[in-house]
A and B are shown apart, each in its own frame.
Chain A
Amino acid sequence: MFEYAPAPESRALVTFQSSYGHFIGGKFTKPSNTYQTISPSTEQVLAEISTASAKDVDLAVKAARSAYEKVWSKLSGAERGKYLYRIARIIQERARELAIAETINNGKPIKETRDADIPLVAAWFFYYAGWADKLDYAGFGVNPKAHGVAAQVIPWNFPLMMLAWKIAPALAAGNTVVLKPAETTPLTALLFAEICQQAGLPDGVVNIITGFGQTGADLIAHKDVNKVAFTGSTGVGRLIAKQIAGTNKKVTLELGGKAANIVFDDAPLDQAVEGIINGIFFNQGHVCCAGSRLLVQESIQDELLKKLKRRMETLKLGDPLDKNTDIGAINSKAQLDKITKMVKIGVKEGGEAWAPNCEIPSKGFWYAPTVITGVAATNTVAREEIFGPVLSVLTFRTPAEAVAKANNTPFGLSAGIWSEKGSRILKVADQLNAGVIWANTFNQFDPASPFGGFKESGYGREGGRHGLLAYLKGDN
């Protein structure tokens, strides 16, 4: 009947070079010690990427230091703002190209990169461009000073968006940066390096080095780094915290999560279903603030799950470049294996896994959207982050029980509340231990709104006025 014909976005807008060096001091170095980056939806090799050695890291930090001392720290806020506005505009102009590139290298659907990732990237630069000449009014005293060189290590789930979250406030506050993208998703960061050139950003203000965990560790350990910003797993976050203990480096960590999405019996059910879907299947669930634990009031469990499963039947999994695709590819084989293993454990511990019938492409890494019902608070899938399209369903009877179960996790990044009763939303939100709480919605991001976690979800805030604090002296 009414089957959607394939509607793939053309790849012609994007040209990747066959190999990339690092972007240091405004120039690309000669590619060296390379590895291959692939498209997770086709396993096709996209480019050869260099692995930065400790020496490369040193060069990058030196370039950032030199740019800081000689150029960037001497510019007025208004001048810095001009560069940021210019970058923001170029991102908008090249939005389509960046969306396609991100989709190819990350595996997420074009619908998301086009409508969420790239617009937010531009918004982040516009927002912080506006702050650059107004730091006196940010509430940290008159003429607050930058830290100097910021070392930034970002994950693969929102490659360019995480870059924007890190670089935009750092530059607005007057720092220079060395950024390392995740090893599986370096390409949009390297395109961003081209954008810095296009914008005429002074050499060395932004440096981008690629590589694996060791490169990140070398960068964070570098003695001339003043500020460390990391987004990624709690495990690596712990290592970083240990590594910089006893140094003068400032640090912000944005780590894992196991968010509760709480649905009360008076919730707007059809919209709650949409919120649950958006909460856990957006970006294949590769979202640190994903609503991975559904806490549903026992009295509406059957009705809600029925609606949820029916809605899941309509999700389209497949070619991420197709405009009709809802669920793209898992970013890497390693992540796919982890998700597969976690679901197996979930079932072994008594959960019941269900996924709609969807065809899995033969090439690439894929995982069907899955819901595990009958999960108890003691189960692994209720406690550990899966970081995939897998929803664990728990029930509660009273608001107090919902709050207790929601807070019963080492994490504290985000939470969702669904109820038509405003007073209940306010009371429950007040009791939840999470950095971001959404009411009757989920996964909404805005550069003006601070984002960050409690407990093992990290510390420091990104976004908003609070996000500037991390990049200015006199904060902590």
Chain B
Amino acid sequence: MTKNEPEAIVGGKITNLSLRRWLHSLPGVDKVGLESRAAGLGTRSIKTTSKTWALDAAIKMMDLTTLEGMDTPERVRSLCLKALTPDPTDPDCPRPAAICVYGDMVSVAKQILGKSGIYVAAVATAFPSGRASVAVKLQDTKDAVKAGADEIDMVIDRGAFLSGNYLEVYKQIQAVKNACTRADGSKAHLKVILETGELQTYDNIRRASYLAMLAGGDFIKTSTGKVTVNATIPINLLMLQAVRDWYDQTGVLIGVKPAGGIRTAKDAIKYLVVVKEVAGERWLSPDLFRFGASSLLNDVLMQRQKLKTGNYSGPDYVTVD
């Protein structure tokens, strides 16, 4: 048994009891302290060269997202083209890391993005509620992988988590991870959505983060974007602490993806400040940090144009997606 096997980390056979003991032995989170630290980082002043860097980085770390019931192939196609050429006036404008769509749209997206280097991520496992049988969730995942998804964004079973059935949550993540295996044996990248807005407490969010990392998630992601409270800076900070401490303990690098509610370049820069100061510069990479966002890209593009030309351009000068 190597030190990174779940049994070694938890300190015994994986049972609901051992998971409970392990998760509940993590240090508590003081709400006031966490939020005041997050607010403190929010006052960092980012301008000139650091702002230029941050805006480009925000685009490179973006999962450009459309997750609507009204999504159509044309809509997805349009979004993919936007990802390929975010700013037609500036050939140097970087591209987003990925496009994030529902599973049935993967083949449409894949057709356009092909080998462009922009990944296709699919939400799966009965997104957003996750309220379906395990068999359905796994099939959902397999379908997306088979259609060519590079990344899978799964949701955890919040009901199981809140009722204390950590083992069920753990097993489902492991099963989805297995379902990410392609015919050639390689694996789609797995992001585990905790839906922090439903877990409610910071202690729960820390525990769910650890549970997802233990079960083999490559990324931990805050939200589906479909509930009242989505990503916040304190939650982002807390999850970055979790991946940092996890790396210290295991040597395994896990990514973080805040999603939902990040709409402005200013917000995105605040998130990047937290990444830099809490997890460290190593995490300032699309491999380890992503934004899940739909309207953020255009605001970042407008800010980029402002930095280049000195003038605010306005929404008429960025393309609708």
Interface residues of A (CB under 8 A from B): 1-5, 7, 111, 115, 266-272, 274-275, 306, 314, 323-324, 420, 440-441
Contact = CB atoms under 8 A, between A and B. Distances in A.
Contact of B47 (A5, A269, A420): A5
B29 interface: yes
Contacts of B57: 2
8 contacts: A2-B272, A4-B46, A5-B51, A7-B45, A270-B27, A270-B37, A323-B43, A324-B45
Given A270-B241, A271-B37, A5 B48 contact: yes
Interface string B41-64: 001111111110110010000000
Contacts of B29: 268, 270-271
B27 to A, nearest CB: 4
Interface string B65-100: 000000000000000000000000000000000000
A266 B26 CA distance: 9
Contacts of B36: 274
Given A4-B50, A270-B29, A440-B30, A324 B44 contact: yes
Determine chain A's interface SS by DSSP, over half rule. loop
B289 to A, nearest CB: 11
B32 interface: yes
B276 interface: yes
Interface of B: 27-30, 32-34, 36-37, 43-51, 53-54, 57, 241, 248, 272, 276-277, 281, 284
A323 B27 contact: no
Given A3-B50, A420-B28, A271 B45 contact: no
Given A2-B53, A441-B32, A111 B27 contact: no
A270 B34 contact: yes
A267 B27 contact: yes
Contacts of B33: 268, 270-272, 274-275, 440-441
B48 A266 contact: no
Contacts of A2: 50, 53-54, 57, 272, 276, 281, 284
A272 B27 CA distance: 11
A3 B50 CA distance: 6
Given A1-B284, A270-B29, A7 B34 contact: no
Contacts of A420: 28, 30
Nearest to A303: B27
A262 to B, nearest CB: 15
A5 B54 CA distance: 12
Contacts of B276: 2
Nearest to A4: B50
Given A5-B47, A441-B33, 14 more contacts: A1-B284, A2-B53, A2-B57, A3-B50, A4-B44, A5-B48, A266-B27, A266-B28, A270-B29, A270-B34, A271-B34, A272-B33, A324-B45, A440-B30
Contacts of A1: 53, 281, 284
Nearest 4 pairs of A and B residues by beta carbon: A271-B33, A7-B45, A268-B30, A271-B30
A319 to B, nearest CB: 12
A269 B25 CA distance: 12
Nearest to B282: A1
Contacts of A271: 29-30, 32-34, 37
Contacts of A314: 277
A323 B43 CA distance: 8
A267 B29 CA distance: 9
Nearest to B272: A2
Nearest to A419: B28
Contacts of B277: 314
Contacts of B47: 5, 7
A326 to B, nearest CB: 9
Given A2-B281, A111-B43, A440-B33, A269 B50 contact: no
A111 B44 CA distance: 9
Contacts of A269: 27
Nearest to A9: B45
A174 to B, nearest CB: 38
B45 A268 contact: no
A355 to B, nearest CB: 18
A155 B2 CA distance: 58
B206 to A, nearest CB: 9
B222 to A, nearest CB: 18
A107 to B, nearest CB: 19
A193 to B, nearest CB: 31
A431 B88 CA distance: 68
Contacts of B32: 271, 440-441
A268 B238 CA distance: 12
